[in-house]
């Protein structure tokens, strides 16, 4: 359906709730995990009284307002913009004020720099923290470089900004071999332990390749490397090799559904092709408290493109966020950061990323859950 401005909007129906993950309800039920109710809930009236169909149900936001965030990569063009007279916000002070006005409560960082002409120098983390505080915003994480050489310095910045989570937009390793993921797990366990001592959670963010299959079986190549797969996915292997007290995850929901589209076959140890359909919900649900953060990034299905989806503002695409966030549960624990890599409109439409941030916040706020 379209709104009054001609923009496509999402309207979740009972049918929508069940269509995203084939067989998910049966598998979740068998595993003792939450399954969406089959009845059709009714609303209480404006005064909280039961209407004749309500049976005591009430409606609440699926993503609490305090947990609705944005990664600044989505509006990177306006953070980095030089001062102009267009009326479109630029730099941290103006952009963060506008995001708070839209309704966002949390900020995930993607760098700490703005155009130096704004202040005549680069802004400092302490100055950014004041802007956050002045606008009632909380830093919930960051995409920075995670390595032992600079980790203490990055934690210093995280603490200055008031973060509880520190992370990266890169995979722990790009390798397809278990030995490299084992080494990465050792490093991340050590760094995660150091982070916990300072009141931080260390997290890694996925793209689709992280849910590709390991090469861990079958004949060896000339370098002694395995050439086939047991069917184990890279990041799922990392789940088990890392300590749940020290290492956490941020699922990018868009890239998880791209992984479902792209990474569904592998060659087993005997040389036979096998099919294994990736399910983002069933990946999170058994370990839901290892995922404090999510990228709520939407997409329209498009099999003609390599990723199978085109990125669009949240709530205007085909990904069923209602089902996703309701089924994984723990809505008070999870923090949803809107992201759209393609949000900047360039010189032709310099205000596009801020406009998309507004549309996406509205659609995020309209996701609801029913409780007694």
The more confidently predicted of residues 28 and 242 is: 242
Element (H, E) at 250: strand 247-252
Q: Which long-range contacts (CB under 8 A, 24 or more apart) does 262-265 make?
A: 262/208, 262/212, 262/306, 262/307, 262/308, 263/208, 263/211, 263/212, 263/213, 263/233
pTM (2 decimals)? 0.86
Nearest-angstrom CA–CA distance, 15 and 234: 33
Q: Model confidence over 280-313: pLDDT tens digits?
A: 999 999 999 999 999 999 999 999 999 999 999 9
Domain membership flag for residue 79? yes
* Exposure string for 284-312, b = 16+ CB within 10 A, e = fewer: bbeebebbbbbbbbbbeeeeeeebbbebb
d(CA 309, CA 343): 15
User: Which contacts (CB < 8 Å, 24+ apart) does range 348-352 have?
Assistant: 350/77, 350/78, 350/81, 350/86, 350/88, 351/86, 351/88
Report d(CA 186, CA 92) in Å as an integer.
36
**pLDDT higher for 29 or 42?**
29
pLDDT at site 348: 95
Distances (CA, A) of 95 to 48, 70, 142: 37, 12, 17
- Helix H or strand E segment including 217: strand 217-220
Rounded CA separation 156/166 (Å): 11
Query: What is the rounded CA–CA span in Å between residue 12 and residue 347?
Result: 35
Task: Report whether 45 contacts 351 (CB < 8 A).
Answer: no
Task: Please tell me the least confidently modeled range out of 2-16, 49-63, 153-167, 323-337.
Answer: 2-16
**DSSP states of 254-275:** HHHHHHHHH--EEE-TTS-EEE
Q: What is the CATH number of the domain that holds 293?
A: 3.20.20.150
In a domain, 137, yes or no: yes
Say which residue the tokens 């789940």 belong to. Answer: 239
Q: Is residue 338 part of a domain?
A: yes
| Predicted local distance difference test score (pLDDT) of residue 371 | 82
DSSP state letters, 80-103: SPPP-SSS---HHHHHHHHHHHHT
Chain centroid to CA 301: how far? 18
Residue 297 maps to a domain: yes
Q: Is there a domain that residue 111 lies in?
A: yes
Number of domains in the chain: 1
Q: Residue 163's closest CA among 196, 197, 200, 190?
A: 200
pLDDT tens digits, residue range 34-83?
444 433 333 444 444 445 556 788 899 999 999 999 999 999 999 999 99
| Residue range of the domain that includes 217 | 14-371
Residue 5 lies in a domain: no
Q: 371 has which bridge partners?
A: 58
Alpha helices, DSSP H, located in 91-226: 91-102, 125-134, 151-161, 178-197
Helix axes 151-161, 125-134, angle to 10 degrees: 30
- Whether 243 contacts 218, CB under 8 Å: no
pLDDT reported for residue 52: 53
Residue 192 region by backbone torsions, left for phi larger than 0, else alpha for psi between -120 and 50, else beta: alpha
For residue 202, is pLDDT > 60? yes
Residue range 321-333, pLDDT digits in tens: 999 999 999 999 9
Q: Check if the beta carbon of residue 155 is closer than 8 Å to that of residue 200.
A: yes
Q: Where residue 164 falls among pLDDT bands split at 50, 70, 90?
A: very high
Q: Is residue 61 part of a domain?
A: yes
Q: How far apart are CA 40 and CA 26, in angstroms?
A: 19
Any domain includes 6: no
């Amino acid at each position: 359906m379209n709104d009054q401005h001609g923009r496509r909007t999402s309207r979740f129906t009972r049918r929508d709730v069940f269509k995203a993950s084939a067989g998910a309800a049966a598998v979740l039920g068998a595993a003792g995990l939450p399954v969406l109710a089959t009845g059709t809930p009714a609303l209480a009236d404006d005064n909280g009284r039961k209407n004749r169909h309500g049976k005591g149900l009430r409606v609440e936001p699926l993503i609490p307002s305090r947990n609705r965030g944005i990664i600044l990569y989505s509006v990177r063009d306006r953070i980095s913009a030089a001062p102009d007279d267009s009326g479109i916000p630029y730099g941290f002070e103006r952009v963060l004020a506008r995001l708070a006005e839209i309704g966002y409560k949390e900020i995930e960082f993607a760098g700490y720099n703005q155009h130096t002409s704004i202040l005549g120098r680069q802004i400092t983390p302490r100055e950014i923290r004041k802007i956050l505080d002045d606008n009632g915003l909380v830093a919930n994480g960051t995409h920075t470089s995670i390595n032992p050489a600079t980790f203490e310095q990055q934690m210093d910045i995280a603490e200055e900004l008031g973060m509880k989570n520190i992370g990266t937009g890169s995979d722990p390793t790009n390798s397809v071999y278990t030995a490299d993921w084992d080494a990465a797990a050792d490093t991340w366990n050590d760094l995660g332990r150091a982070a916990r001592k300072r009141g931080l959670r260390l997290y890694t963010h996925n793209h689709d390749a992280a849910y590709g299959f390991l090469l861990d079986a079958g004949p060896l190549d000339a370098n002694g490397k395995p050439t086939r797969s047991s069917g184990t996915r890279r990041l799922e292997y990392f789940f088990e090799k890392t300590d749940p007290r020290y290492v956490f995850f941020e699922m990018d929901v868009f890239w998880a559904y791209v992984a479902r589209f792209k990474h569904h076959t592998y060659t087993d140890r005997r040389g036979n092709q096998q099919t294994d359909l990736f399910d983002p919900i069933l990946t999170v649900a058994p370990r839901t408290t290892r995922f404090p953060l999510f990228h709520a990034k939407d997409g329209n299905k498009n099999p003609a493109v390599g990723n199978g989806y085109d990125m669009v503002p949240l709530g205007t695409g085909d990904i069923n966020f209602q089902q996703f966030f309701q089924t994984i549960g723990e809505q008070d624990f999870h923090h949803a950061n809107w992201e759209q890599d393609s949000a900047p409109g360039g010189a032709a439409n310099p205000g596009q990323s801020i406009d998309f941030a507004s549309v996406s916040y509205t659609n995020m706020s309209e996701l609801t859950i029913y409780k007694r």
